[in-house]
């Protein structure tokens, strides 16, 4: 055990007292300087704008009323609810990402959709990304999914057993599109997937479902006479192994920015053909890496600052 001599103790004490006497003076001076700096409105705005919030780092929903705030690709979410990892007719994938949150309407939709799909013979949904606990920009993988009204559902049916935690992280989704052919892969695409899309589209709150153009083209060819639901099936890049369901703004959710209404018709016309043109193909070359999309608070609706910092 170390002993401290009386002399030593006294020396330390004097040093401490000197510091203690100086500390309040230093702190007050610093506070004054900071106040003077921030009192300048332009500088304060600058300092605030410089903060790039990491929405993915927040682990709990904002304790606020359920509210989708802003647009699907530029907004945030108050009062989010977590979708339980397993439920009747569905299992949630990639739990470690913590993107299984949504507006209560999205949670209710997935649970109802899973039951309806199962009643229709689909073995079970595998649910991919939804939203972060407070929504907001996602730094990897999605431009949208920001206000808790988007969900990715795999085209791969769930197995009859409960997936292990490890399988939920590592199991991969099957692409429905044959490589380099811009057609569906008949060894995996079937009328079952078509029926699943139709079931999802049958919910009035579902406004759009994004799929690869090859899948839209297959749906157009195979839908038969019942075609009104095809209007909701929208071609988009990617989306070969999952479809992306987007709900309309919930009624009364006034901060939610609605999208353009759907164009008339089933979308199986020349507009769809464009997607197969050279112009529509993604530019060749390696994908841009390391370019984190930057979303300052200034890029989002003002209410998102409160959502980010609340609780
Ligand atoms: Zn998506």
Whole-number Å distance between alpha carbons of 242 and 13: 68
**Confidence (pLDDT) at 157:** 97
Whole-number Å distance between alpha carbons of 165 and 170: 9
In Å, how far are 14, 19, 61, 77, 211 from 151, measured between CA atoms? 64, 57, 17, 14, 12
**Confidence (pLDDT) at 293:** 63
Distance of CA 237 from the midpoint of ligand 1 (Å): 11
Confidence of residue 282 (pLDDT cuts 50, 70, 90): confident
Judged against a pLDDT cut of 90, whether residue 16 lies above it is answered with no
Distance of CA 186 from the midpoint of ligand 1 (Å): 23
Distance of CA 197 from the midpoint of ligand 1 (Å): 15
Greater model confidence, 171 or 279 = 171
* Range 57-281+295-309 has CATH code 3.40.50.10490: no
Judged against a pLDDT cut of 70, whether residue 7 lies above it is answered with no
| 36-89 pLDDT tens trace | 444 554 555 555 555 678 999 999 999 999 999 999 999 999 999 999 999 999
Tokens found for residue 215: 């899948």
**Confidence (pLDDT) at 48:** 53
Distance of CA 275 from the midpoint of ligand 1 (Å): 19
**Confidence (pLDDT) at 105:** 98
Distance of CA 146 from the midpoint of ligand 1 (Å): 10
Distance of CA 28 from the midpoint of ligand 1 (Å): 51
What sign does the dihedral 295-243-181-222 (CA atoms) show? Answer: negative
Whole-number Å distance between alpha carbons of 206 and 171: 27
Distance of CA 228 from the midpoint of ligand 1 (Å): 23
State the first-to-last Cα distance of the chain, in angstroms, to the nearest integer.
46
Distance of CA 119 from the midpoint of ligand 1 (Å): 25
| 207-230 pLDDT tens trace | 999 999 999 999 999 999 999 999
Domain ranges for the chain: 6-48, 57-281+295-309
Judged against a pLDDT cut of 50, whether residue 260 lies above it is answered with yes
Distance of CA 128 from the midpoint of ligand 1 (Å): 8
Confidence of residue 19 (pLDDT cuts 50, 70, 90): very low
Distance of CA 235 from the midpoint of ligand 1 (Å): 13
Whole-number Å distance between alpha carbons of 71 and 28: 43
Distance of CA 3 from the midpoint of ligand 1 (Å): 65
- Report, as an integer, the average pLDDT of 98-116: 98
- State pTM to two decimals: 0.82
Distance of CA 94 from the midpoint of ligand 1 (Å): 14
**Confidence (pLDDT) at 52:** 77
Whole-number Å distance between alpha carbons of 269 and 260: 19
């Amino acid at each position: 055990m170390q002993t401290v001599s009386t002399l030593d103790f006294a020396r330390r004490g004097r040093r401490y007292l000197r510091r203690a006497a100086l500390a309040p003076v230093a702190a007050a001076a610093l506070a004054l300087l900071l106040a003077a700096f921030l009192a300048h409105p332009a500088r304060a705005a600058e300092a605030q704008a410089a903060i790039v919030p990491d929405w993915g780092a927040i682990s709990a929903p904002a304790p606020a009323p359920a509210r989708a705030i802003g647009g699907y690709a530029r907004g945030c979410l108050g009062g989010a609810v977590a979708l339980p990892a397993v439920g009747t007719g569905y299992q949630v994938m990639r739990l470690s990402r913590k993107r299984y949150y949504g507006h209560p309407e999205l949670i209710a939709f997935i649970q109802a959709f899973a039951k309806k799909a199962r009643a229709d013979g689909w073995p079970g949904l595998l649910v991919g990304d939804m939203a972060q606990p407070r929504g907001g920009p996602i730094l990897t993988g999605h431009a949208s999914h920001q206000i808790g009204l988007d969900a990715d559902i795999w085209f791969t049916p769930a197995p009859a057993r409960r997936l292990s935690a490890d399988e939920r992280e590592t199991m991969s989704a099957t692409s429905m599109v044959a490589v380099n052919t811009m057609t569906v892969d008949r060894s995996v695409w079937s009328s079952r997937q078509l029926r699943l899309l139709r079931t999802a589209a049958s919910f009035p709150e579902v406004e759009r479902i994004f799929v690869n153009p090859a899948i839209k083209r297959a749906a157009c060819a195979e839908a038969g006479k019942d075609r009104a639901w095809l209007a909701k099936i929208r071609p988009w890049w990617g989306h070969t192994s999952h479809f992306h369901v987007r709900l309309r703004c919930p009624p009364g959710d006034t901060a939610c920015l609605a999208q353009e209404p759907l164009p008339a018709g089933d979308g199986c016309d020349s507009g769809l053909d464009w997607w197969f043109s050279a112009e529509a193909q993604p530019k060749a070359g390696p994908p841009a890496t390391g370019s984190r999309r930057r979303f300052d608070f200034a890029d989002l609706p003002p209410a998102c600052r409160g959502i980010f910092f609340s609780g």
